[in-house]
Structure 1
Amino acid sequence: MRVVIVGAGQAGAALAAKLRALGHQGPITMIGTEKAPPYQRPPLSKAYLLGEMEEERLWLRAPDFWTEQGITLKLGQPVSAINPAARTVTVGTETIPYDALALTTGSVPRRLPAAIGGDLAGVYTVRSLEDVDAMRAEFTPCRRVIIVGGGYIGLEAAAVAAKLGLRVTVLEMAPRILQRVAAPETSDHVRALHADHGVTILESTGLERLLGETRVTGARLSDGREIPADFVIVGVGIAPDTALAQAAGVALDNGIATDAFGRTSDPAIWAAGDCASFPHKGGRIRLESVGNAIDQAEAVAANMLGAAEPYQAKPWFWSDQFDLKLQIAGLNSGYDHVVTRRAADGATSFWYYRGDQLLAVDAMSDSRAYMVGKRLIDQGKSPTPEAIATTQDLKALLK
């Protein structure tokens, strides 16, 4: 079986490696638009941007791994078309045949429209190695940076900028930062942390437009104020990269729609990672996380080889900001109340419930709460809110 993987990120790399680990002997070709070998993205907005990590440490595998495993990498060569009838992909002037095609195309950052200055020099997104390399020279002490968007990517970039001595302003259109993904308790905790480090957060504040002729010089806000900036980082979310799938006639539904096994509407095409949506607890979800990219890709690799095992997602996420390590287990969608736990050592965690059911936990530099919460959720156990708030030894709740 000839396998072609379009997308050389976390999911693509995991899928290729798993195919070989499971004994697949046929040709594997992995195609990526970036010139760098498969690498991890989370450190881009943290350790790499801070200068604490070299590029080689980002790489998921040593370069000789791919050669040793007989995996052909085609990097810096985007796929221009998929022909489902002929079962081929086109890369430049080359046509590559496949028996099974995996789409691990990931996601693309949402950008500001050119009409409001999104195309000015000095405006950046944080998604790729190239993005971060382009902006690193901007991070000089005392310079002014505006960050558009108070989600995790924007706040991580704000933390790095503040640590490097820049003057940082975060613009969030919603009433509070992290509103789409976290409870007010988590927002309050993170907001206070940034305030302690001198970051200015403007909530319920939209961007009317960026200012400048050819290079950004500032921003006009929705309330009419104008604030100066030496550069701008846009962190307003990402969208699944579905262009190739759509052109090939593959069904979409908040991403590339797959069944429980990772197969798309075309029986020879599979999908995994940020770009894929899949059945989950009677609905359909798409997860943007390293954990899902790896787990789903490995499940798809097994199913390509005939395992026929539905993918069971176990969502977890993390974010590093200043000295805070925020670890998240579960999905908080549909929660109706939050339980706050403060441990004797001062560690704090927020536990999401819907009725009596535990849905998720946000652990604020509290690895014990995260590990116990993750195990409880995986096991389908829901201690009472009173037990979460008062039990001294959380591990006792696992018994």
Structure 2
Amino acid sequence: MVDADQTFVIVGGGLAGAKAAETLRAEGFSGRVILICDERDHPYERPPLSKGFLLGKEERDSVFVHEPGWYAQNDVELHLGQTVDRIDRTAKTVRFGDDGTLVHYDKLLLATGAEPRRLDIPGTDLVGVHHLRRLAHAERLKGVLHHLGRDNGHLVIAGAGWIGLEVAAAAREYGAEVTVIEPHPTPLHSALGPELGNVFAELHREHGVRFRFGARLTEIVGQDGMVLAVRTDDGEEHPAHAVLAAIGAAPRVALAESAGLELVDRAQGGGVVVDAGLRTSDPDIHAAGDVASFPLALFDARIRVEHWANALNGGPAAARAMLGKEVTYDRVPYFFTDQYDLGMEYSGWAPPGSYDQVVIRGDAGKREFIAFWIKEGRVLAGMNVNVWDVTEQIQNLIRSQAQVNTESLADPHVPLASLVP
């Protein structure tokens, strides 16, 4: 039975929000739990949208965090297709944007996520220009890739980040022609640096993807309202029947900003400032998932992580903190990708400029290796490519902050566990 004396409200029905609601109940919270989702679909996980579901290898129902009946069974008041347009911190209420309904909260969690960045060029209003963030986007794109493959059509992707490359792989598996336009000199430049980006470039070239590095889209050309081609700032024109904008995502901070919560400058990655307990500048409001910028003492930095594992773990951590438990959210960032026959896991944080060398263990040419980003002999990050069951060992190396012998690190015959003091 629900005790109405306390009400916890969660704004954002993605993985972080759904796992927070689950954790509140699992930890014995008996008050009202209200989960507000601006999509009409039940909360779901996003990785399949550019992987298994997009490829037609996973069913639609497989993406949902919980069975639809779970919410009622656990007394979670789920509001689908509802937006929140205002937080009144003094009155401790949130207001629904569609009808102005006010809901009181004792604790509030912002799990509003991120949204795709938009191309600011002529032609983005043409039929055939796509983004990939939501289940509805993936459903539309899945149909597009099927038709492009059947008709030998061309997909142009703006951006060679994780989403861009995963969709490129899916499109090639459907049989579509693919051109990727990327202003940096390699794919995944901001994530992996120049040293490892070429591994992914060669992988995709082997599967027929064409890259145009050092170029940006300047215009999407149409005919009869449909995409016909794209033009780039190097003077080239490329045929296109569909365009995917995969130029990154921006944290959805408008609600937090209007409430006067402290934010991180956009130039520093943006997001809502939280402490190690995922509390915002208002102690009764927490934030988790893509929107939260949290301090990570391990790297002496404040970071915002847009990947699945951060939502999976951050939502429950915020829920425990809302319950008054002592929480220090200090997980090593983790993400993964699957492209063709390449599977990869990445642990750590090593943006370009933060490391002084990359050490390879294994055979990068055969795409069976582990890469380590090193600064002053210490491991900042590790990426295992088609090498499995090493994530815990890599994360232990990162957490140890110990100086390692790089020759031993590069030697596959030296157990990784032996390098942790």
Q: Give the TM-score of the pair, scaled to structure 2.
A: 0.91
1:275 aligns with one of 266, 291, 299: 291
- State yes or no: 1:198 paired with 2:208: yes
- Alpha-carbon offset, residue 383 of structure 1: 2.6
- Alpha-carbon offset, residue 397 of structure 1: 3.2
Matched position secondary structure for 2:382: strand
The corresponding residue for 2:328 is 310
> CA–CA distance in 2 between the matches of 1:132 and 1:295?
24
> CA–CA distance in 1 between the matches of 2:69 and 2:240?
44
- State yes or no: 1:326 paired with 2:344: yes
The corresponding residue for 1:394 is 416
The corresponding residue for 2:267 is none
What aligned pairs does 1:64-213 form with structure 2 within 5 A after superposition? Answer: 64-91=69-96, 92-93=98-99, 94-113=101-120, 115-139=121-145, 140=147, 141=149, 142-213=152-223
2:39 aligns with one of 26, 29, 34: 34
Question: 1:217 is matched by which residue type in structure 2?
Answer: L
1:245 aligns with one of 253, 256, 280: 256
Deviations 1:54-102 (A, max 9, x none): 1110011111211111111001111122221211111232211111110
The corresponding residue for 2:3 is none
Deviations 1:236-279 (A, max 9, x none): 00000001111111111121111221111122211111001112
TM-aligned CA distance change 1:374 to 1:283, over 3 Å: closer
The corresponding residue for 2:244 is 233
- State yes or no: 1:284 paired with 2:302: yes
**Maintained 8 Å contact 2:16/2:289:** yes
**Maintained 8 Å contact 2:157/2:179:** yes
- Alpha-carbon offset, residue 135 of structure 1: 2.2
> CA–CA distance in 2 between the matches of 1:353 and 1:262?
29
- Alpha-carbon offset, residue 379 of structure 1: 3.7
Question: 1:107 is matched by which residue type in structure 2?
Answer: A
> CA–CA distance in 2 between the matches of 1:276 and 1:390?
38
**Maintained 8 Å contact 2:358/2:374:** yes
- Alpha-carbon offset, residue 380 of structure 1: 3.4
The corresponding residue for 1:337 is 357
The corresponding residue for 2:281 is 265
> CA–CA distance in 2 between the matches of 1:390 and 1:86?
61
> CA–CA distance in 2 between the matches of 1:362 and 1:191?
16
> CA–CA distance in 2 between the matches of 1:350 and 1:212?
43
- State yes or no: 1:54 paired with 2:42: no
The corresponding residue for 1:352 is 373
Question: 1:349 is matched by which residue type in structure 2?
Answer: I
TM-aligned CA distance change 1:202 to 1:295, over 3 Å: same
- Alpha-carbon offset, residue 369 of structure 1: 4.2
Q: Give the TM-score of the pair, scaled to structure 1.
A: 0.96
CA RMSD of aligned residues (A): 1.7
2:398 aligns with one of 377, 385, 391: 377
- Alpha-carbon offset, residue 116 of structure 1: 2.2
Matched position secondary structure for 2:374: strand
**Maintained 8 Å contact 1:330/1:361:** yes
**Maintained 8 Å contact 2:156/2:240:** yes
The corresponding residue for 1:20 is 25
Question: 1:271 is matched by which residue type in structure 2?
Answer: A
Structure 1 window deviating more from structure 2 (303-312 vs 66-75): it is 303-312
**Maintained 8 Å contact 1:48/1:54:** yes
Q: Which runs of 5+ in 2 are unaligned?
A: 1-5, 265-269
Question: 1:232 is matched by which residue type in structure 2?
Answer: V
Question: 1:173 is matched by which residue type in structure 2?
Answer: P
Structure 1 window deviating more from structure 2 (247-256 vs 387-396): it is 387-396
